[in-house]
Structure 1
């Protein structure tokens, strides 16, 4: 395939062959066969173009989109849980019970969501987040209009709204990735 494994161009081409998605290996093998017929002065640019094409093909492959979206959802949920634990710890120092409990409950909920997403995929994210968003919206409305204003009511409402935004973002990412994966695999 490649006679000169010690040149930069051939190394780039070898990397392109390793990066290429499995369904495109024949295409990249044909590129590697063409490499020997490219003038020596242009082999580096040709190999770089092959590497960029392989990177692009990998980036739009359903497996890559799926892995990135799952990693983003799981990592984001764990990060948000960590931030909520940190917040709850700070609230416990101030003896603010409601925001503290809300912080720990949110952390637990997001941790469970991350584990469910890791195990069951996007459907779990959407199935868990949608009802939780409805409950949080009702809590925010109740805190704003249905209860007496306590000193920490605005802080609690802000926490609920933050959680709603994060959950909406998670649902959007899960729905987009699920749709992209289905479309790339030929399903409507």
Structure 2
């Protein structure tokens, strides 16, 4: 009544696989591990974001005697900018603006860019000025002291000259070019 099953004797031989194929298989495994590690890392960062947000929102940092959240993050040797970027992403997740998959697919920089371009009640717009500061050197110490003390006024004067008194600016430019010769 027993059914007899015969097995073919086959030996899997590595000699049939070329060295190039072995390298390709190994490379493929490394890529898979890398992708898994990146996803794990992103999930860990997302979890970190949520933890930081809860600690900040509920004031848990005060339980350790910290007066401010900034003191808490500095004591943990965390970068302020990174922590506040994490909090922006966590807030956007909480509001339903984005989800975990969005962060996974787009990464952190793209996610932050997306958030900064969206209107939100609780996410503040960045106060970063997109125009880079202008640096130049003055030859006269007295004018340097004046403009340093009145930097916003100097900025106002330069903008006003450029926008509404271009003819005066052109005159100064012409005079300057004649001095060079």
State TM-score, norm by structure 2. Answer: 0.31
Q: Which has the higher helix share?
A: 1
TM-score, normalised by the number of residues in structure 1: 0.30
Larger radius of gyration: 2
Q: Which has the higher contact order (CA 8 A, sep 6+)?
A: 1
